[in-house]
Structure 1
Amino acid sequence: MADKSKGKLSAEMPVQIQAQSPAYDIDYEKHGAQREANPLPDLKRKLKSRHLQMIAIGGTIGTGLFIGSGTAIAHAGPVGALIAYIFVGTIVYSVMTALGEIATYIPIPGAFTSYAARLIDPSLGFAMGWIYWFSWASTFALELTATGLIIQFWDSTIPISIFIAVFWVVIIIFNLMPVAFYGEIEFWFASIKVITVIGFMIFSICMNAGAGKEGYIGFRYWVHPGPFVPYLIEGNDSLAKFVGFWSTLIQAGFSYQGTELVGIAAGETENPRKTVPSAIRKTFFRIVFFFILTIFFLGIVVPSSDPGLLASEGDGAAAQNANASPFVIAANRAGVMALPGIINAVLLTVVLSAANSNVYSGSRILVGLAQEGFAPHWFKVTSKRGVPYYSVLFTAAFGLLGFLNVSDAGSTVFTWLLQISGVAGFITWSSLNACHLAFQRALKARNISRDILPYKALWQPWFSWYGLFFNCLIILTQGFTSFIPHFQVKEFFISYLSLILFVVLYAGHKIVYRPAFIKPIEADLDTGRTTADNETWETIEPTTWYGKAWKWICGRGPLIGSCLFMSEKNMFFSPPPHLAKAEELKQAPPKGVAYSVAIPGTEQPGRSRVYRAWNAQKELLTTLDPQVTTAHDIFESTANRQPKNHCLGWRPYNSTTKSFDPYQWLTYETVQKRRAAFGAGLVELHHKHDCHRSGQYGVGLWSQNRPEWQITDLACISQSLYSVSIYDVLSPDATEYIINHAELSCVVTSLPHIPTLLKLKPSLPNLKIIISLDPLDGGEQDGHSKRALIESMAAGQGLAIYTMDQVEELGLASKRGYNAPSASDIVTINYTSGTTGPPKGVVLTHGNAVAATSCGLITIGQARGDTAASYLPLAHIYARLAEHTAFWGGARIGYFHGNIVELVDDLKLLKPTGFMSVPRLYSRFGSAIRSATVEQPGFKGALSRHIVAAKTANMKNPDPSKATVRHAVYDRLWAKKVTAALGLERARYMVSGSAPLDPTLHNFLRVATGTDILQGYGLTESYASATAQPTYDLTSGNCGSLAPCVEACLASLPDMEYSVDDKPFPRGELLLRGNNMFREYYKNEEETRNAVTEDGWFRTGDVCTIDEKGRFIIIDRRKNVLKLAQGEYISPERLEGVVLAELGYIAQAYIHGDSMQTFLVGIFGVAPDLFAPFASKVLGKTIAPTDLEAVKESLGDDKLRRAVLRDLERVAKKHKFAGYERIRNVSLKVEPFTVENNLLTPTLKLKRPPAVKLYRSLLDQLYEQATEEQSAPRAKL
């Protein structure tokens, strides 16, 4: 581990690479960094979803609606009041959606007032926090006074002060209890309010229809006194009516105040990333249902001229009784005499609920103020149960101001204090809109997309501009009544008291502390967010039909009528936390920060500094979800989340048409059941045939890609077994070696491989079980079927043969459940190709799989509804990682029908949303596209060349923020046809791996397809994950930046003249270490020790350099193992040894394989004494061995070159070289490599890097000549 005090790496690490990588203490300074904040208050997340939903309602429906709405109708008329409430409702909704985006991304313990200090200006946070707190504290005194007045409805002789004292104590007790108790109280209080409002609506409909003493009402009161009422200005003109409308906005705002409590409660809510968005979405329905409809019904059953409506205009709390409520007035007018008493009882619960929320909100605001340093730190001190008792008591103390209202003199002061509350809501709302705009700028500065937000609101950020403008307008104009009919100083002062106080607080803080405005790049988006990221909560879905129905309705978003204008992602689907986390980590680093960052102080002699991904500098990524630690968890989490979605698809063969039908699909649920049954059956068979072993053991898997391959692998995982995959085209000898080396007792295979296994059985002592993925019955005569024949042959060799169906039936009958693995268990032993010797078994764990898959999701992203194409061999770890990634993203996987030549036919049917391949296939694609477009004659070719040139210029724009591979017009008219011809018109990305992609081809494919094409680098030992190009980097010729799960460094190679001190960039062998790195080579300690350093670094054998942006560029191989463009590894020294042994006239041999080419070329030094006779025979003339000039002259004759190539072909056939191991062109020289020209070591070993450097142009000529001579037909789509 690292010594944190020094920031140095320790050498005391085990040989196994999987050991924990060190953590580093980084000074992040400003850019993209999480600032060192005070410890967060220890509030407990104990509020459940139902609590939060009712808190949002209970904090909103209060005296403002039950009593104050009467004043609004009296001043503006029924239609004027309705429009005012609708208008303010839109403002409130803009605030709530803005708050929702921030609070779900940063659900901080405390109050949302902290956002202003973190995003805009500390002085704004100070002023906003204190005035908002004061509004809640003073309103608490109002609510306490109201309780006494309401009780006087039944007995006016009881002093109000008694009830102020009693309920003051009760509310304090409530708030000193754990937050879950507060949530439960509010849940029931809010339920009473909801029932009352719904009951009143039903009552209003009945009264309006004629059930009351006034008979049928209809819209009578909209006609007389009229829809609008003039106010303050004499006359009945439009201006007077507008004044009445505008005068009600503050009252409407007071009614809505408390809606934002969702943001305060987010810091104490379970799973805020899910519950808060749900509560925000339902805000729209609360506004429409509980406010707008209530005002509508009040306006049709109570005339605006009723004198009782103005009773609520009394000073202080004098009007807070049932007689002032328009609800009671409606009941009295209808002649229902019992209703006022019921309404009064409801009002009592309303004010108690409001008082309870006042103390809760005020105390949490104080916590937030203390957290930001704007209040004494002891305000954020909590009890063991998470209650900030100092804040509770301090806020509750202001409730004693309620006694002021008992006396006449105190009532005037109390009225002034209450005036602060009404406008403070608008000040807070405008500040929240401003915070959201600043939040958007901060996201943009960090290159974070809004798409990754747990809650992405509709119409933002424009909706925040709308809310900010009208909130400020209302604040500035709300005191206009003090000018009518003439200027009144007292009224003016009262109207603007809260604004004056806000300005004083802001200016005072700014003058005293002089804080600077927060720059977008410096905004703190991390404190509190990272804590929430690391927490997980169980999701409990509704089980009743009405619960599911309500969830469906409320989950549809804020406006059902706007469904057509909303995306599925925004409205119907909130991505799971791990996908949101992946999207967040996918974002570009802040300006000036490299993609891969060198950690200061980690360099060692002969080694570079340690590099890590810019967003993993402190800790390497293990998983995107703490609950997902194994490949078993990856599949199970998705299958449980979306059981009915497509999972695995294939094209059945139609024997009638002799062709393959369209894709058929298995759902996640079906695959889950089959893998569980097959996994249980595998264990039962091992018990049955006495080959079950304690602990983990392997199961062989030998087949082409197909759904059954993946079901088998998932089945092994479900029982803590591991698969040992065998390439479908592997030779019998290599297959025999792997089965024996891995000690496999069971091999699951396709039907064509069963005869090979039967032939190999005498040399496979451990093999006892063969399971066929294909049926063995085809309707043949009993006793003469394929099954009978194969079983008879197997039985004679001690083998048992089963079909997949039989094993699944056995598993179902066993009732055996999962035996889930742990992160340290083996997920697979993946055998290498064995280029330099026997294949090595790479031991990979579930922890490796999850870390690599996490990085796969970060690189390419996956989502529900995505489709992946599977054709790369699943025995290769690259393809396996791709399918893990698809599973965790919730995508479906379609398998090709088995013929690679007809792959495009499969793609056209499948229409994948992403495509992963190798350079060899991309080269075929590029050739076909060029042939069909830019190489065409006439107008078509000219237009294509113009489009490619224009898009290339856009891609290479020197301003990275403007560089793009897409074009609004050309992509629709041209690129879409190109991708459709490949079946890739839906592809958002393409990935190239296994070998370098030629930069020219890379850039051409980018512009031709208008798609992100990413090049990556990985090895079997790294679970195919190490580096990858991000979508925002449009360079080519590199492998991109480090994955967040791995770290890297370079080691100098003096013998190859590569040094970590080279300029301008370090060069050396690439070493890797991280959570994705393999455990060991199976049963091969020597190779493990050779490959892994003492401090846990894996020697990749690849030589690379790292540029200024932290991009990795492979430039050579240390072990002299070549990798061709199709991904095949070649050992040139082995081939050179064969050539030198077989062809005596060759004295020196250098075989070269360019990573951008698919074949080999060579430079050979001839032995004159033996070459002269050979040349003489070929050329038909005598060349003396001693005549060096004649020998040299003959080397340029093309007849000799072709003769040598024929000899090389003969040698290749004799030694059974693979096609890619055959040499296609040569250059002949006398002593091309010498110690003098620095191409041989003193021990006469060839120095390959200098040789390449010296003969680079010659090698390029050899490739060019060979390419021209090849007569292979043009690749077809």
Structure 2
Amino acid sequence: MKLKHNINPFLLHIINFVILVYSFLTYVPWYVLSGSRQAIAKSKQIKAKPVYHKPSSAYRSVNSLHCLASVLYPGCDTLDKAFKYARTKFENKKLLGTREILKEEDEIQPSGKVFKKVILGKYNWLTYDEVYTKAANFGSGLAVLGQQPKTNIAIFCETRAEWMISAQACFMNNYQLVTLYATLGGPAIVHGLNETEVSTIITSKELMQTKLKDIVSQIPLLRHIITVDGKPTTWSEFPKGIIVHTMASVQAMGAKAENVNKQRVRPVPSDIAVIMYTSGSTGLPKGVMISHCNLIAGITGMAERIPHLGEKDTYIGYLPLAHVLELSAELFCLSHGCCIGYSSPQTLGDQIKEGNKNTSIYIPIFLYYMGEDNTMEIMDRIYKNVMNKVNEMSSFQRSLFILAYNYKMEQISKGYTTPLCDSLIFRKVRLLLGGKTRVLLCGGAPLSAATQRFMNICFCCPVGQGYGLTESAGAGTITEVWDYTTGRVGAPLVCCEIKLLNWEEGGYYNTDKPYPRGEILIGGQNVTMGYYKNKERTQTDFAVDENGQRWLYTGDIGEFQADGCLKIIDRKKDLVKLQAGEYVSLGKVEAALKNLPLIDNICAYASSFQSFVVAFVLPNQKEITELARKKGIKGTWEEICNSAEMEKEVQKVLADVASSANLEKFETPLKIHLSPEPWTPETGLVTDAFKLKRKELTAYYLEVINRMYGTDKN
């Protein structure tokens, strides 16, 4: 979507003439020297094909039509072998970097949320050899504490170097690592720890004192708590029988000559590496059993899709390592000799004081996003922040930026690059992420086309999307770096194949023209073993075919386009049939509207007994307050949100955006409710990964729903 400018027509003609002359003079040398000719040719190639010529056939990457890939390096079929290989190859190279935190400050946002501003010091790096030694010692120390091979051990900790060291220790010794989000609530933590019967948990001082101390009495088998960052200040509150250790002391035990390699049993590919608890939108979290070969296959698929990754690249580790995408990405980078510098979401945008940005210090070259934040994807948040700053520019500056933006968007759509615009216009925006970012990838949540194109343009690098689930070890599809289309998630990775299953209720068939459509099924060695102690759900979501191939039923609806790339178009659970018979995909409605600056989050709702859609909206306080000022609507924040006039004004804006996004009239929310209260895991309205909990949101806003539909009993 092009941006609108208000530049003087005469000046516009002059600028366009200069651009025309510049393009004419530079086109030939640029085309010959830039490599774009080859990139354009690659972008037009077929990327995946059906294995057989029939509608129900699975699609495979053209690079794996005859055999799916499963091993990154010969003989490295388990995670401990992959790390040992990397340690030998990159022994003295930097691996894990932790930056000193000198000071923290709370910054209250207009919405009332509090972000941490941090004053940061220098980076302290550990080499591959140092990380390997620390992990080996820690694993041996755990054996001294009584940890046995193939038994469960939990990690409940923020993303940091010690998390990865702990994980590698478990992989080396064939301990089954149970992962829990640091943001999980008490009942979910208790459920995960008790279901897996862990006796040892690895955590941080902060999480031990803020969360674990309130629930340890509910975990009867717990015997050891290991803090990764030193001794806590208080010890007396823990029940008798629980011993608190530091990571350093356990490593010291393991480093003693008599304990080195104590009881070490190497894993085989089929052994469980991780039991990963997903933050489900309904009920208690489920533990997905992920084997060594599942993760090895997944990162093998990722490696083929990200070219030239190596020792010069730096990865920003800031997403939860308890999420399969972050864990897979870091294992993938570790296996290629990359540096991993640990960061946080607050240091990636404008939430940190100038001069202290993590990204400006270690200059990332490769960056992987999951695309989820507390109210929306981080990319979407950066997009809105930058566009707000553009709107604050002078008329001439804003018009010049918009002209450059529109010009580059046109060039990108043709597969061309714009080095002059990149260096003169977009340099400052690019510096938000360090200035040398080479690749941006998004997965875990859909990235809007407008935001994806914005990132392409302003950060001057490929911005792709991927698709995968915890149940597929994070692997499924990734767009190729020379694919500048939007709204697609790429072709199947070389480790797996994907087929589409007819879904009659939704009207999706793999015989549809021009593109086959249906429920996405993923098959391959990356498909996991199922759910821990949940045989019934495992049998529902997984199946094995006559050839022994394991398949995952994702519940997502996709379509394969002409070049073999997949597009996610719907989700079975989000489909509602209206009174007049039309089907509405709530996820589709939300995806079309969530990028509006007025909105921080949105939940669409539809009743089968009604003929229209309604929505609960978490408004952006700054934007809504400004709109209220323009419309003469006064009052407190709650009064503004509860104003019927304000609801109508926002609904008008939503309707305009819905129309431009090609939503049908019956899909466009006819009535909305503006929520003054934030949606957080603590409120129970979103998961710990900040995904919508539809059932809880519906119950919470039941009276509002009745009011909007005119069905309230009063």
Q: Same fold (TM over 0.5)?
A: yes
Q: Distance in 1 between matches of 2:509 and 2:344?
A: 48
| Corresponding residue SS for 1:908 | helix
- 1:857, CA displacement in angstroms? 1.9
Assess if the C-alpha contact under 8 Å between 1:934 and 1:945 holds in 2.
no
- In structure 1, give the amino acid aligned to 2:142: L
- Residue 403 of structure 2 corresponds to 946
Q: Distance in 2 between matches of 1:1213 and 1:703?
A: 17
- In structure 2, give the amino acid aligned to 1:618: H
- Residue 805 of structure 1 corresponds to 248
Residues 1211 and 753 of structure 1: CA distance in aligned 2, closer, same or farther (over 3 Å): closer
| Corresponding residue SS for 2:279 | coil
| Corresponding residue SS for 1:612 | strand
Question: Of 908, 927, 930, which aligns to 2:384?
Answer: 927
| 1:776 has 2:197 as partner | no
- In structure 1, give the amino acid aligned to 2:342: Y
Question: Of 1203, 1206, 1217, which aligns to 2:685?
Answer: 1217
| Corresponding residue SS for 1:1108 | coil
Q: Distance in 1 between matches of 2:390 and 2:513?
A: 42
- Residue 877 of structure 1 corresponds to 324
Q: Distance in 1 between matches of 2:609 and 2:677?
A: 18
Q: Distance in 2 between matches of 1:803 and 1:1211?
A: 35
- In structure 2, give the amino acid aligned to 1:1090: T
Question: Of 582, 591, 604, which aligns to 1:1155?
Answer: 591
Q: Distance in 1 between matches of 2:228 and 2:680?
A: 36
| 1:886 has 2:343 as partner | no
Taking the TM superposition and a 5 Å limit, the aligned residue runs for 1:470-869 are 588=42, 594-601=46-53, 603=55, 608-654=56-102, 659-686=119-146, 692-693=147-148, 695-755=149-209, 756-776=211-231, 786=233, 789-790=234-235, 792-794=236-238, 796-813=239-256, 814-817=258-261, 819-861=265-307, 862-869=309-316
Residues 936 and 630 of structure 1: CA distance in aligned 2, closer, same or farther (over 3 Å): same
Taking the TM superposition and a 5 Å limit, the aligned residue runs for 1:1112-1191 are 1112-1120=566-574, 1154-1156=590-592, 1157=594, 1158-1163=601-606
Taking the TM superposition and a 5 Å limit, the aligned residue runs for 1:144-543 are none
| Corresponding residue SS for 1:1093 | strand
Q: Distance in 1 between matches of 2:646 and 2:609?
A: 16
Taking the TM superposition and a 5 Å limit, the aligned residue runs for 1:1079-1094 are 1079-1094=529-544
| 1:1102 has 2:556 as partner | yes
Q: Distance in 2 between matches of 1:883 and 1:943?
A: 39
Residues 716 and 1055 of structure 1: CA distance in aligned 2, closer, same or farther (over 3 Å): same
Q: Distance in 2 between matches of 1:1161 and 1:1230?
A: 17
Q: Distance in 2 between matches of 1:1213 and 1:997?
A: 22
Q: Distance in 2 between matches of 1:448 and 1:1214?
A: 47
- Residue 971 of structure 1 corresponds to 422
Q: Distance in 1 between matches of 2:328 and 2:177?
A: 14
Assess if the C-alpha contact under 8 Å between 2:488 and 2:565 holds in 1.
yes
Residues 1160 and 917 of structure 1: CA distance in aligned 2, closer, same or farther (over 3 Å): same
Assess if the C-alpha contact under 8 Å between 1:1166 and 1:1230 holds in 2.
no
Q: Distance in 2 between matches of 1:865 and 1:1210?
A: 41
- Residue 174 of structure 1 corresponds to none
Residues 811 and 771 of structure 1: CA distance in aligned 2, closer, same or farther (over 3 Å): same
Assess if the C-alpha contact under 8 Å between 1:1166 and 1:1228 holds in 2.
no
- 1:643, CA displacement in angstroms? 1.6
Q: Kindly indicate which of the two structures has a greater share of residues assigned to strand.
A: 2
- In structure 1, give the amino acid aligned to 2:52: P
Residues 1204 and 878 of structure 1: CA distance in aligned 2, closer, same or farther (over 3 Å): closer
Assess if the C-alpha contact under 8 Å between 1:649 and 1:663 holds in 2.
yes
CA RMSD of aligned residues (A): 3.6
Residues 1033 and 872 of structure 1: CA distance in aligned 2, closer, same or farther (over 3 Å): same
Assess if the C-alpha contact under 8 Å between 1:934 and 1:944 holds in 2.
no
- Residue 1228 of structure 1 corresponds to 708
| 1:1046 has 2:496 as partner | yes
- Residue 632 of structure 2 corresponds to none
Assess if the C-alpha contact under 8 Å between 1:699 and 1:747 holds in 2.
yes
| Corresponding residue SS for 1:715 | helix
Assess if the C-alpha contact under 8 Å between 1:856 and 1:1025 holds in 2.
yes
| Corresponding residue SS for 1:886 | helix
Range with greater deviation from structure 2 (920-929 or 754-763): 754-763
Q: Distance in 1 between matches of 2:462 and 2:132?
A: 33
Question: Of 469, 483, 507, which aligns to 1:1057?
Answer: 507
Residues 985 and 759 of structure 1: CA distance in aligned 2, closer, same or farther (over 3 Å): same
Output one character per residue of 1:456-494: Cα deviation in whole Å (capped at 9) or x when no partner.
Answer: xxxxxxxxxxxxxxxxxxxxxxxxxxxxxxxxxxxxxxx
- Residue 1024 of structure 1 corresponds to 474
Residues 847 and 925 of structure 1: CA distance in aligned 2, closer, same or farther (over 3 Å): same
Residues 822 and 990 of structure 1: CA distance in aligned 2, closer, same or farther (over 3 Å): same
Counting aligned pairs with the same residue, the percent is 26
Structure 1 unaligned residues grouped into runs of 5+: 1-443, 450-586, 687-691, 778-785, 958-962, 1122-1131, 1137-1148, 1168-1195, 1232-1277
Assess if the C-alpha contact under 8 Å between 2:370 and 2:442 holds in 1.
yes
Residues 1200 and 1102 of structure 1: CA distance in aligned 2, closer, same or farther (over 3 Å): closer
Taking the TM superposition and a 5 Å limit, the aligned residue runs for 1:1224-1263 are 1228-1229=708-709
Residues 945 and 837 of structure 1: CA distance in aligned 2, closer, same or farther (over 3 Å): same
Q: Distance in 2 between matches of 1:992 and 1:656?
A: 29
- 1:628, CA displacement in angstroms? 1.6
- Residue 917 of structure 1 corresponds to 369
Q: Distance in 2 between matches of 1:1215 and 1:926?
A: 27
Output one character per residue of 1:888-940: Cα deviation in whole Å (capped at 9) or x when no partner.
Answer: 11011111168564398212222111112244111122223333447733332
- In structure 2, give the amino acid aligned to 1:807: V
- In structure 1, give the amino acid aligned to 2:605: G
| Corresponding residue SS for 2:387 | helix
Question: Of 434, 439, 456, which aligns to 1:1006?
Answer: 456
- In structure 1, give the amino acid aligned to 2:324: I
Assess if the C-alpha contact under 8 Å between 2:155 and 2:202 holds in 1.
yes
Q: How high is the TM-score relative to the length of structure 2?
A: 0.73
Output one character per residue of 1:204-236: Cα deviation in whole Å (capped at 9) or x when no partner.
Answer: xxxxxxxxxxxxxxxxxxxxxxxxxxxxxxxxx
Q: How high is the TM-score relative to the length of structure 1?
A: 0.42
**Structure of higher CA gyration radius:** 1
Residues 857 and 1229 of structure 1: CA distance in aligned 2, closer, same or farther (over 3 Å): same
Q: Distance in 2 between matches of 1:968 and 1:1198?
A: 47
Assess if the C-alpha contact under 8 Å between 2:437 and 2:459 holds in 1.
no
Question: Between Structure 1 and Structure 2, how many residues are aligned?
Answer: 569
Residues 1206 and 745 of structure 1: CA distance in aligned 2, closer, same or farther (over 3 Å): same
Output one character per residue of 1:426-470: Cα deviation in whole Å (capped at 9) or x when no partner.
Answer: xxxxxxxxxxxxxxxxxx999699xxxxxxxxxxxxxxxxxxxxx
